[in-house]
């Protein structure tokens, strides 16, 4: 039994990916309601923890209902990372701390953080062991990319180093830093890591359906799966995947009405959280665009979403979209009848 991470006990946990600007408390809770097993905060800078700024505090905020939840930290200085991890544990008592060794953005890698540490294994090892020691027995996990670039894919070696450092589980996003989000995740490398590693490996990258998860699981022997962008347009992917893994039966996706109910609830919760409707709904524009991917008239919806500022406007768009879909279905039914009668 994995005492440190009991959610691997006889289970194949589904993680919501940490996503800066996306996986806030409200979205995490919506995903949990829709079947996500394990949540992680957006990444938090170890240096921000020292400064104890308001924004950092917000990133660390979660509700009890979100457990098991991890706080993700990034930074390149072992001592600071260990101290920041201890402070986080004192403040909010997460179920684990996750170390970000995968972030590709310049602002982070230029300070030797995120995926830059894939090129500097001694520092990576010292950061990992310092944090493991600082917060033990609370588990420390890590998230990596498969390497810095195509010529330096070293995920198997990095997994070994992290296992030796006492990391309890490892998420592997199957892209290099150089790829950013382009190209496809390399599930062969993820499979190699899963086969070689002494710790549970969570596979991540381009999982877009229950079927994808089942296929990658059987091909690679991963211990769990992490879903990011697909959950932004379809948070119900977790429930669908769980049902499919348990029964091999596909569940019907939510109806259009049910999707809109979820979207409107997301908007209402954000308005409540912000306490100011217009900035809250404007902050939802990108999120609404992501939802539109799973909706009819996606292009038109995107145009409308790029302008919304109030809940009332979102509701009008919802009503129109549902009505148009009903009309289209009726129209199709009318067209189909004569075809059917004539055949």
Ligand X SMILES: Cc1cc2nc3c(=O)[nH]c(=O)nc-3n(C[C@H](O)[C@H](O)[C@H](O)COP(=O)(O)O)c2cc1C
Residues noted as catalytic: 103
Is residue 228 involved in binding ligand X (CB under 6 A)? yes
Nearest to ligand X of 18, 256 (CB atom): 18
Contacts of 295 (CB under 8 A, 6+ apart): 256, 259, 301, 321
Is residue 294 involved in binding ligand X (CB under 6 A)? no
Min separation Cβ 328 and ligand X, Å: 31
Is residue 20 involved in binding ligand X (CB under 6 A)? yes
Cβ proximity of 279 and 228 under 8 Å: no
Is residue 291 involved in binding ligand X (CB under 6 A)? no
Q: Which of residues 51-70 bind ligand X (CB under 6 A)?
A: none
Q: Which of 25, 32, 80, 173 binds ligand X (CB under 6 A)?
A: 173
Handedness of CA 294, 297, 299, 303 (dihedral sign): negative
Between the CA of residue 156 and those of 8, 61, 178, 268, what are the distances in Å? 21, 34, 18, 44
Q: Which of 24, 37, 186, 206 binds ligand X (CB under 6 A)?
A: 206
Is residue 205 involved in binding ligand X (CB under 6 A)? yes
How far apart CA 21 and CA 26 sit, in angstroms, is 12
Is residue 207 involved in binding ligand X (CB under 6 A)? yes
Count of residues that bind ligand X according to CB under 6 A: 22
Task: Give the phi and the psi of residue 201 in degrees, each rounded to 5.
Answer: -115, 130
For residue 205, is it left (φ>0), alpha (ψ between -120 and 50) or beta? left
> Which residue from 97, 33, 89, 37 is spatially nearest to 68, judged by alpha carbons?
37
Q: Which of 133, 157, 229, 293 binds ligand X (CB under 6 A)?
A: 229
Nearest to ligand X of 75, 228 (CB atom): 228
Nearest to ligand X of 78, 227 (CB atom): 227
Which span (161-169, 203-211, 213-221, 260-268) binds ligand X, by CB under 6 A? Answer: 203-211
Rg (CA), the chain: 22
How far apart CA 275 and CA 60 sit, in angstroms, is 19
Is residue 189 involved in binding ligand X (CB under 6 A)? no
Is residue 210 involved in binding ligand X (CB under 6 A)? no
Min separation Cβ 286 and ligand X, Å: 9
Identify any residues that bridge with 101 across adjacent strands, giving them in sequence order.
144
Min separation Cβ 97 and ligand X, Å: 13
Q: Which of 4, 14, 17, 281 binds ligand X (CB under 6 A)?
A: 17
Contacts of 104 (CB under 8 A, 6+ apart): 114, 115, 145, 177, 180
How far apart CA 124 and CA 321 sit, in angstroms, is 50
Min separation Cβ 268 and ligand X, Å: 23
How far apart CA 26 and CA 37 sit, in angstroms, is 15
Q: Which of residues 106-165 bind ligand X (CB under 6 A)?
A: 143
Is residue 43 involved in binding ligand X (CB under 6 A)? yes
Is residue 88 involved in binding ligand X (CB under 6 A)? no
DSSP SS3 for 235: coil
Is residue 192 involved in binding ligand X (CB under 6 A)? no
Q: Which of 227, 234, 237, 281 binds ligand X (CB under 6 A)?
A: 227
Cβ proximity of 75 and 103 under 8 Å: no
Q: Which of residues 68-87 bind ligand X (CB under 6 A)?
A: 72
How far apart CA 317 and CA 276 sit, in angstroms, is 21
Is residue 186 involved in binding ligand X (CB under 6 A)? no
Is residue 31 involved in binding ligand X (CB under 6 A)? no
By the criterion CB under 6 A, which residues form the site for ligand X?
Answer: 17-22, 42-43, 72, 100, 102-103, 143, 173, 204-207, 227-230
């Amino acid at each position: 039994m994995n005492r440190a991470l009991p959610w691997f006990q006889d289970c194949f946990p589904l993680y919501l990916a940490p996503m800066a600007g996306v996986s806030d408390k409200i979205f995490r809770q919506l995903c949990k309601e829709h079947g996500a097993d394990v949540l992680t905060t957006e990444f938090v800078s170890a240096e921000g923890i020292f400064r104890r700024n308001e924004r950092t505090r917000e990133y660390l905020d979660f509700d009890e209902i979100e457990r098991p939840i991890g706080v993700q930290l990034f930074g390149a200085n072992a001592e600071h990372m260990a101290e920041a991890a201890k402070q986080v544990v004192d403040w909010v008592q997460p179920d684990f701390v996750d170390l970000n060794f995968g972030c590709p953005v310049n602002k982070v890698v230029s300070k030797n953080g995120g995926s830059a540490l894939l090129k500097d294994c001694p520092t990576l090892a010292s950061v990992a062991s310092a944090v493991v020691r600082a917060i033990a027995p609370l588990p420390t996990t890590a998230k990596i990319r498969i390497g810095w670039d195509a010529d330096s894919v070293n995920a198997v070696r990095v997994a070994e180093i992290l296992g030796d450092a006492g990391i309890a589980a490892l998420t592997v996003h199957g892209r290099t830093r150089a790829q950013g989000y382009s190209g496809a995740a390399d599930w062969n490398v993820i499979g190699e890591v899963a086969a070689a590693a002494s710790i549970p490996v969570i596979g991540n990258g381009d999982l877009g359906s229950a079927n994808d998860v089942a296929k990658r699981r059987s091909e690679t022997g991963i211990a769990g799966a992490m879903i990011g962008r697909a959950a932004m347009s379809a948070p119900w992917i977790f429930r669908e995947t769980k049902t499919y893994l348990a029964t091999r039966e596909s569940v019907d996706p939510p109806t259009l009405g049910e999707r809109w109910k979820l979207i409107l609830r997301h908007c209402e919760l954000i308005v409540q959280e912000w306490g100011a409707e217009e900035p809250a709904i404007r902050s939802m524009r990108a999120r609404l665009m992501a939802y539109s991917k799973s909706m009819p008239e996606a292009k038109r919806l995107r145009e409308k979403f790029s302008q919304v500022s109030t809940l009332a406007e979102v509701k009008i768009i919802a009503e129109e979209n549902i009505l148009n879909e009903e009309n289209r279905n009726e129209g199709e039914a009318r067209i189909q009848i004569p075809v059917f009668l004539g055949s």
